[in-house]
A and B are shown apart, each in its own frame.
Chain A
């Protein structure tokens, strides 16, 4: 079960130096050295801004920090890895940061993934840039896991290399299974439903995961996304509708039990 044994963040924004930036197909992996902060849990996130020139991009934005699930936090150094895709003025600015530049970050924030219950096998399902929290979760899980990843095309599917042993689906059929990653999930659950599903990706994918798992009574933990201003419960902007009303994704998520949701919008 998802609990509240969250790793708490140091109070306030702190500086972290970019130690490396790598292009990976359509994505950028940004590595930042965070000598001060605690090591995050898988599924937790950070609020990131470039320390300089945050603003003045498209439409004179960005202004607010952007939320990113941590991609990887190696035990051997103090680096935090983040997976970025240049889709707007915030990610655009972060993608252009080079080694030596500084980011302002707050985190780790939110509630991460919890280990499988009833000795179920872990089944990781990711879509697009949403594969990020699954990579650190695979790092942390002791037993081997099944990994299913879906991408738009071959350029995006380069991200699959961030996880080990992934089965890949692409929308355009250029690599792997031609079609949706949730079709692969259906096959896996039909073969062995004694699984716990961990999923992160676009809303339509998460809704398909929720529905597939609900029909088979398979527990699922969904890492959701919502536009956030603050990341620590102050602004009430990131709410999602659950069966018990709105919850703030930043402090009550971003990982939610699928059974708490009527539908993923």
Chain B
């Protein structure tokens, strides 16, 4: 089941979605058992921003029918803190490391990409473009021209595979993917969470500290499948697909819709080792389909 992803050899096609697994915290909880049974073929770290962020005020979670809405707000130690504390630990994981970065301006993204370009511990970079451009207030990832402009500035800064994490909160996701491909993106990943909102049961005021949140889990799976299908038809670069994957069958469907890799996100909250289970179920399904072809 090994996969070549932009020149990086992966043992199987299942990775994690950024921000849904903290390998450092998980080592505190599970010890070496985590490393012996590491569930993902590559590890995607939580979004790193230039400066440290505390994240949004709580409450940050709201449970939905077959899903979750979160408003976490990208808490992280900032670039310097990540390089000093997190990178050495993540580099020791038994799988390749993909670092997810987000900047609030092209200069910030350039600083982040430039800093990681020289680090051998980093196999690939993922650009989180689900943030507003501070000049226009528009979400960069919602506009093909903004994404193209960003990539023109960023692409020359690194030879590493550059993945653009697409937002589903865009009018034409395939057009954004195409713009990314045309400006040199190595791959695209989707879907990020879908914007949603919940009201507190009694006060009828917004429940989440961040007012709106991002919806994930099985309830978004059909939306993810449709968007992956549209993007897969539009671009030739590899697609990393995610959105509500719980079982090998879900991964098989996303691969059939055009994906090269599949990420597990929210399901890891229900079972930390869900990635390994999905990979095993997928391997079994793929083996069965090979048999049926031969038969």
Give chain A's interface residues, CB within 8 Å of chain B.
Answer: 4, 6, 8-13, 49, 55, 59-65, 104, 106, 109, 226-241, 245-246, 248, 251
Contacts and interface: CB of A to CB of B under 8 A. Distances in A.
A55 B55 CA distance: 30
A230 B217 CA distance: 13
A237 B31 contact: no
A232 B270 contact: no
12 contacts: A8-B31, A8-B33, A106-B271, A106-B272, A109-B29, A228-B61, A234-B268, A236-B60, A236-B72, A236-B75, A237-B60, A237-B70
7 cross-chain pairs, A with B, having the tightest CB-CB distances, nearest first: A233-B25, A12-B273, A60-B65, A13-B271, A230-B269, A237-B61, A8-B31
Q: Which of B29, B55, B60, B65 has the most CB of A within 10 A?
A: B29
A246 B75 CA distance: 9
B59 interface: yes
A12 B36 CA distance: 12
A60 B227 CA distance: 26
Interface in B71-96: 72, 75
A13 B61 contact: no
A246 B29 contact: no
Contacts of B66: 55, 60, 63
Contact of B65 (A61, A104, A248): A61
A110 B267 CA distance: 20
A232 B26 contact: yes
A121 to B, nearest CB: 31
A4 B59 contact: no
Given A226-B58, A245-B54, A232 B29 contact: yes
B202 interface: no
Contact of B271 (A6, A62, A104, A239): A104
Interface string B250-291: 000000000000000010111111001000000000000000
B67 interface: yes
Contacts of A234: 20-22, 25-26, 268-269, 272
Interface size of B as a range = 35 or more
Given A11-B272, A12-B272, A13-B273, 19 more contacts: A8-B33, A9-B33, A11-B30, A11-B37, A13-B272, A61-B65, A62-B63, A63-B218, A63-B270, A64-B63, A64-B269, A228-B61, A230-B272, A233-B28, A234-B26, A236-B19, A237-B61, A239-B55, A239-B75
Contacts of B67: 63
A10 B29 CA distance: 9
B116 to A, nearest CB: 22
Interface string B14-25: 000001111011
A206 to B, nearest CB: 16
Contacts of A251: 25, 28-29
Interface in B185-238: 217-218
B139 interface: no
B229 to A, nearest CB: 25
A240 B273 CA distance: 26
A10 B59 CA distance: 29
A12 B54 contact: no
Given A60-B65, A234-B22, A237-B72, A65 B29 contact: no
A227 B59 contact: yes
A223 to B, nearest CB: 17
Contacts of A237: 58, 60-61, 70, 72
B64 interface: yes
A114 to B, nearest CB: 17
Contacts of A238: 60-61
Contacts of A227: 59, 61
A59 B270 CA distance: 19
B25 A229 contact: no
A142 to B, nearest CB: 28
Contacts of B28: 4, 6, 8, 233, 251
Contacts of A104: 270-271
Given A233-B26, A246-B54, A251-B28, A61 B33 contact: no
B170 interface: no
Contacts of B34: 11
Contacts of B269: 64-65, 229-230, 234-235
Nearest to B65: A60
Nearest to B59: A227
A170 to B, nearest CB: 25
B175 interface: no
A108 to B, nearest CB: 9
